[in-house]
Amino acid sequence: MVIAARPVGVSGYGLVVSDALVQARGLRKSFGAFEAVRGIDVDVAPGEVFGFLGPNGAGKSSTMRMIACVSPRSAGTLSVLGMDPGSDGPRIRARIGVVPQLDNLDAELSVRENLEIYGRYFGLPRRHVREKATELLEFAQLTERAGDTVEELSGGMKRRLTIARSLVNDPELLLLDEPTTGLDPQARHLLWDRLYRLKREGVTQIVTTHYMDEAEQLCDRLVVMDGGVIAAEGAPAELIGRYSTREVLELRFDPEHRPSAAALERHADRVEELPDRFLLYTSDGERTQGDVVGAGFVPLSSLVRRSSLEDVFLRLTGRTLVD
Amino acid sequence: MAAPTVTVARSTGRAPTALGGVGRVVEHHWRWYRRNWRATAVSSILQPLLFLLAFGVGFGALVGSGPQAAAATGGVPYLVWLAPALLAMSAAQSAAFDSTYPILSGFKWQRIYLAMSAGPITGAQVGLGVLAWTGMKMFWSGAVYVVVIAIFGGVQGPGIIVSLLAALLTGLAVASLITAFAATVENEGNAFSALFRFVVIPMTLFSGTFFPVDRLPEWVQPVVWISPLWHGTEVARGAALGTWQLLPTLGHLAVLVGLLVVGSVLVARLFTRRLAT
């Protein structure tokens, strides 16, 4: 079920040693009778961008909150920056940055004040936070809005400010929970660019997302989560290679003349039936398209595309990521 | 993927001390206050002014200075008798307001408590910082109130300064208990309106602010004793008029300090619980 892909060395004394920034073994979280995270193993190496990909309710946010040391684990072991969140929460939190799923900025303070006051929580001197705020405003492209109250900002700007705020203590590890949910494409690309710059500076990042394109864009390595467990683990391209074909042919039919999946099966390696379309997995989409039309099927529309993490997810769980 | 050799940025974050964490929360609120003090200043002057006009001046004229009134007030003008109690009442009322909806907002609407506790400070520090701020704001609203009362001629001597401190202690005791309660409220619902209707307003009316509680029927008196505002009013009035006696005063103070300690412990525990789920 679980693959720990990071190299974990075994010392001569039989002790498992690891350079992982985050290491979880059999990590669980339950809320009463409901088990949100049901025993996961994770290793995040310094400098990498690690992703949790999965639909809503997969247990991503619960996992993130445990790593962020705000939610006590129910079972298993967890180490963050080499410390135990159970006993070293404040010391760990002093060295990480957190971008929560829902913005929690102080809407009645200015953009600059939000950055400065947050820096003060980390015990940083006033002069330092003033300089840091100027630098972060530039980074988040908010310099011109520095004096405005947060209420006046657009959703994308608020998100950028939340990310800027999470960097006020120069964190070694940045946790981003659904960083671009609800943003328009332009705002998303700007955010991705900023996260990429942070990666180049060596900031380790853990991202949760239910967007496959976001996972492919950002993550060096990711786990696919579903129902509180890890369904697969690897680099995006590796996962696609392992669980899907090179190309996908998408066919839409008139509901009156919709063929059965079985009828299409002999033209492809695998067929998935979705409410509005068929997905035919094949190494050569164009050729499959020719075969299907040649066999007398008349689709309303057809599209050949590359396989994505969405297809991996569909293969592993039988469900789509975003409905 | 092979993780490239990188120089990981050094975090500059340090965890503040226990008291430092509380101080940071106060500093955050102070930042907010510096921006918004005008709006709160108007209400913190206007409300006492209205109470003084209605009860001290208007109702006070009705009370007059006949023998019955003198028996109740100990011979001092009604306004002078009322003023220290109004200080305590105003502290308890603003404590109730500051400790209900703003607390729920910090957890649920603006969620700034979640942001605070994502850093190195703890849930308990957030809660105690909020409480400390409520006390500071209460103190200077009270100081403004003292000046307003003095302008109306309601101040007899420097004892009113001690009344102000007694009012602060009363307000903090009330604030700690209501803040702890607010930390358990998940939805706006009816919790706060029930609190105001069945606790705050009766407490305001029957704590000896406007008339001595011995004028109430005997069976109501035990209810008065559990009101923190009554204890605070007794101390505040005793200090202003110089009529206090050692043992009863110590008793009243012990009740208020006891409530504040219990309330603070509850605030620390309930904030910790709410912020770590």
Each residue's pLDDT tens digit, B71-130: 888 888 999 999 999 999 999 999 999 999 999 999 999 999 999 999 999 999 999 999
Query: What is the model's pLDDT at position A322?
Result: 60
Query: What is the model's pLDDT at position B48?
Result: 79
**Touching check for B19 and chain A: CB below 8 Å?**
no
Residues A235 and A221: beta-carbon distance below 8 Å? yes
Cβ–Cβ gap B31/A71 under 8 Å: no
Cβ–Cβ gap B118/A89 under 8 Å: no
Query: What is the model's pLDDT at position A268?
Result: 93
CA B39/CA B269 separation, integer angstroms: 32
Nearest-CA distance from B96 to chain A in Å? 22
| pLDDT band per the 50, 70, 90 thresholds, residue B271 | very high
Query: What is the model's pLDDT at position A184?
Result: 86
| pLDDT band per the 50, 70, 90 thresholds, residue B46 | confident
Cβ–Cβ gap A123/B120 under 8 Å: yes
Query: What is the model's pLDDT at position A9?
Result: 40
The model's pLDDT over A60-102, given as tens digits with 9 standing for 90+, comes to 999 999 999 999 999 999 999 999 999 999 999 999 999 999 9
Percentage of the residues of chain A whose pLDDT score is greater than 70: 93
Query: What is the model's pLDDT at position B42?
Result: 79
Cβ–Cβ gap B31/A117 under 8 Å: yes
Query: What is the model's pLDDT at position B215?
Result: 85
Q: pLDDT below 50 — which residues of chain A?
A: 1-17
Q: Using CB atoms, pick whichever of B9, B116, B121 lies closest to residue A202.
A: B9
- Give the residue, B5 or B143, on which the prediction is more confident: B143
CATH 3.30.70 for domain A245-306, yes or no, is yes
Has residue B192 got a pLDDT over 90? Answer: yes
Query: What is the model's pLDDT at position A18?
Result: 57
Please state the pTM of the whole predicted model. Answer: 0.88
**Touching check for B114 and chain A: CB below 8 Å?**
yes
Domain ranges of chain A: 22-235, 245-306
Residues B267 and B132: beta-carbon distance below 8 Å? no
| pLDDT band per the 50, 70, 90 thresholds, residue B10 | low
| pLDDT band per the 50, 70, 90 thresholds, residue B47 | confident
Residue of B nearest to A124 (CA): B13
The model's pLDDT over B117-164, given as tens digits with 9 standing for 90+, comes to 999 999 999 999 999 999 999 998 999 999 999 998 899 899 999 999
Question: Chain A partners of B106 at a C-beta cutoff of 8 Å?
Answer: none
Residue B135 has φ and ψ, to the nearest 5°, of -65, -40
Q: How many CB atoms lie within 10 A of CB B76?
A: 17
Residues B236 and B88: beta-carbon distance below 8 Å? yes
Has residue B53 got a pLDDT over 50? Answer: yes
The model's pLDDT over B218-262, given as tens digits with 9 standing for 90+, comes to 888 888 999 999 999 999 999 999 999 999 999 999 999 999 999
Q: How many A/B residue pairs have CB atoms within 8 Å?
A: 133
**Touching check for B184 and chain A: CB below 8 Å?**
no
ipTM rounded to 2 decimals: 0.89
CA B244/CA B254 separation, integer angstroms: 15
Residue A151's nearest CA partner among B97, B36, B192 is B36
Collapse the DSSP code of A250 into the 3-class scheme (helix H, G, I; strand E, B; otherwise coil) and give the result.
strand
Beta bridge mates, A247: A282, A306
Q: Which two tokens stand for residue A252?
A: 């839409």
CA A6/CA A22 separation, integer angstroms: 11
Q: Using CB atoms, pick whichever of B14, B122, B276 lies closest to residue A122.
A: B14
Cβ–Cβ gap A170/B11 under 8 Å: yes
| Cβ within 8 Å of residue B27, ≥6 positions away | A117, A120
| pLDDT band per the 50, 70, 90 thresholds, residue B8 | very low
Collapse the DSSP code of A248 into the 3-class scheme (helix H, G, I; strand E, B; otherwise coil) and give the result.
strand
CATH 3.40.630.10 for domain A22-235, yes or no, is no
Q: Using CB atoms, pick whichever of A96, A104, A123 lies closest to residue B16.
A: A123
Query: What is the model's pLDDT at position A5?
Result: 40
Residues A159 and A189: beta-carbon distance below 8 Å? no
Q: Which two tokens stand for residue B83?
A: 């003023």
| pLDDT band per the 50, 70, 90 thresholds, residue B63 | confident
Residue A304 has φ and ψ, to the nearest 5°, of -105, 130
Nearest-CA distance from A14 to chain B in Å? 25
Query: What is the model's pLDDT at position A256?
Result: 86
